[in-house]
Amino acid sequence: AFIGSLSIALVLVLFNRLALIPRSSLLFYPFLLIIFLGLPRLIFRVLNEHSFNFLLTDQAHPKRVLILGAGTSGDMLVRDMLRIRGNEYMPLAFLDDNSRLHGGNVQGVPVLGNFDQLVETIETMQIDLIIIAMPSASDEQMRRVVDLCKGCELPVMTLPKLDQLVNRQVNFGALHDIAIDDLLGRAKIKLDWNIISLGLHKKVVMISGGGGSIGSELCQQVAGLNPTALIIFERCEYNLYKIELQLREEFPDLVLYAHLGDIVDSVAIRHILAKYKPEVIFHAAAYKHVPMLQSQAREAVRNNILGTQALVEAAVEYACKTFVMVSTDKAVNPTNIMGATKRAAEILCQTMNENSNTSFITVRFGNVLGSAGSVVPLFKQQIAKGGPVTVTHPEINRYFMTIPEACQLILQASAMGQGGEIFVLDMGKPIKISYLAEQMVRLSGKIPEQDIKIIYTGLRPGEKLHEELFYTDEKLAATNHPKILLAAHRHNDIEIVMTNLRQLTEDCNDYNQQNIIKGVKQIVPELQI
């Protein structure tokens, strides 16, 4: 306004020496300009953001909110609440363990103290809602905060992990109720997306079992890396329909081929590889339900071993460059058929790596939260029915990882591998299933044993108390990624392996369960059945 006024004054001086123009008007003009240009904008912003929102709603009593975490995310969240939802929610205070923030203000909201003052603050300020604004918190930090919130009997909401926020934008719409993933899988993973992208960008990629929990997430992440084409091979019609619909909606420019079929069908496998010539194959198709497969060894062997063999041999024949085998911790010292079949598939991949031009890479990890057949969906159903929640043993524990985290590490391992490696994902500390059950009951707003009973049913056939991620003779070595370890593996003779597989095929064709189990033990002598 002042620069404009000065420019006008200079022009008028040069034009007519300010003849017939009152000098006072040049003094008042910039102030009037500021008022008439700025005041309407100021009034609109004040009305829109927070100060007079109570005039625009019938809600006389907005919810009183306490926010845990006074960092950047807390600042952005409060700003969004005041601007958009000041008529519904009133942020009253922050708590944060960073002592440097104590006594300060964030968007006019005071930072009162650390998390240990939670109960006192709730009682003093009559809080209605607790919001955890810590998207980059570790799983230990989240557990501590949620444990503090448990006794407050107030609704608790949180932000998703930082890498799951859309464009890293923090706003009220991103909040959700506390989920078990927030307690067990919040450690942020740093990936080298440049290396991953180089391995998959402009490549033809095939994913077997692409409609399953791991397979569908792999499809999503690979699709975002701009492959030349993505081929999905899936035996479940509905799962294939879902993932195809989702990918075509989210990635309209993706060249996508969705094929219905069984990996045991070598004719279908060879037809697809001959037609599309995939350069990278992610093999995620497998049966994985331990107790069910324990009494159905033939189906486990056909799918997990012979199906893998069909895909492996086709990959070698049609010059696939990289084959990534998705394995499990149950393949280590297996006490069940499922684990033994996955170990046999690992051995097959290692053997073929030594005898072909295809690079075979194995990635081994533990349980995945929310995957099909995992305990989390089962516990949710049991809690919804009012219980009881069934746990096999009070001491049983498992390694857990979220589906996106597991798939990201699979992609990272595939980019790092040269061929023949067994990569073991660092799963952190194992979690007791009883703890998992208790937390899920509490997150549902109930009290364990009081509102919902937890009963112990005993170990199921083939189930172990504690899973392992590697054999004792597989000396683990560090890699360039802190979450990925390299397990040394023993050499296997290809003639012996192929002879055993031919015998397994005959036993499956004869439906001879006893011989099938003996045949699996020939390949995996450590099987304890």
What value, to the nearest 5°, has the Cα angle with vertex 299 and ends 320 and 303?
A: 10
Q: Indicate whether 8 and 103 sit together in one domain.
A: no
Q: Check residue 181 and give its pLDDT.
A: 66
Q: Indicate whether 226 and 136 sit together in one domain.
A: no
Q: Is 380 inside a domain boundary? A: no
CB 184 within 8 A of CB 167: no
Q: Indicate whether 263 and 325 sit together in one domain.
A: yes
* Helix boundaries (H) for 358-422: 375-384, 403-416
Q: Indicate whether 421 and 467 sit together in one domain.
A: yes
Stated as kind and residue range, the H or E segment containing 517 is: helix 513-523
Percent of the chain with pLDDT over 90: 36
Higher pLDDT, 295 or 146: 295
Q: What is the CATH number of the domain that holds 170?
A: 3.40.50.720
List, for residues 373-412, the tens digit of each pLDDT value.
Answer: 677 778 888 888 888 999 988 888 887 777 887 888 899 8
Q: Indicate whether 109 and 143 sit together in one domain.
A: yes
Q: Indicate whether 110 and 142 sit together in one domain.
A: yes
CB 26 within 8 A of CB 2: no
Decide: residue 459, CB within 10 A, 0-12 exposed, 13-18 middle, 19+ buried.
Answer: middle
Stated as kind and residue range, the H or E segment containing 177 is: strand 176-177
Number of domains in the chain: 3
On the question of pLDDT at 57 being above 80, the answer is no
State which amino acid sits at residue 502: R
Q: Check residue 166 and give its pLDDT.
A: 45
CB 205 within 8 A of CB 193: no
Q: Is 454 inside a domain boundary? A: no
Q: Is 286 inside a domain boundary? A: yes
Q: Is 342 inside a domain boundary? A: yes
- pLDDT band (50, 70, 90) for residue 158: confident
Q: Indicate whether 233 and 177 sit together in one domain.
A: no
Q: Is 512 inside a domain boundary? A: no
Query: Residue 475: helix, strand or coil by DSSP?
Result: coil
In order, the DSSP letters of 224-246 are TT--SEEEEEES-HHHHHHHHHH
Query: Residue 148: helix, strand or coil by DSSP?
Result: helix
List, for residues 306-357, the tens digit of each pLDDT value.
Answer: 999 999 999 999 999 999 999 988 888 888 999 999 999 999 999 999 889 9
Q: Indicate whether 143 and 208 sit together in one domain.
A: no
CB 132 within 8 A of CB 156: yes
- pTM of the predicted model over 0.85: no
Q: Check residue 55 and give its pLDDT.
A: 46
Domain boundary, last residue among 161, 184, 207: 184
Question: pLDDT averaged over the chain?
Answer: 85
Q: Check residue 183 and give its pLDDT.
A: 65
Q: Indicate whether 300 and 177 sit together in one domain.
A: no
- Of 161, 203, 288, 330, which is the active-site residue? 330
Q: Is 197 inside a domain boundary? A: yes
Q: Is 353 inside a domain boundary? A: yes
* Least confident range of 253-262, 427-436, 497-506: 427-436
188 is catalytic: no
Q: Indicate whether 197 and 165 sit together in one domain.
A: no
Domain that holds residue 37: 2-49
CB 321 within 8 A of CB 280: yes
Domain boundary, last residue among 155, 184, 213: 184
Q: Is 43 inside a domain boundary? A: yes
Instruction: Say how many C-beta atoms besides its own lie within 10 A of residue 334's C-beta.
Output: 26
Q: Check residue 218 and give its pLDDT.
A: 93
Q: Indicate whether 283 and 229 sit together in one domain.
A: yes
Q: Indicate whether 242 and 343 sit together in one domain.
A: yes
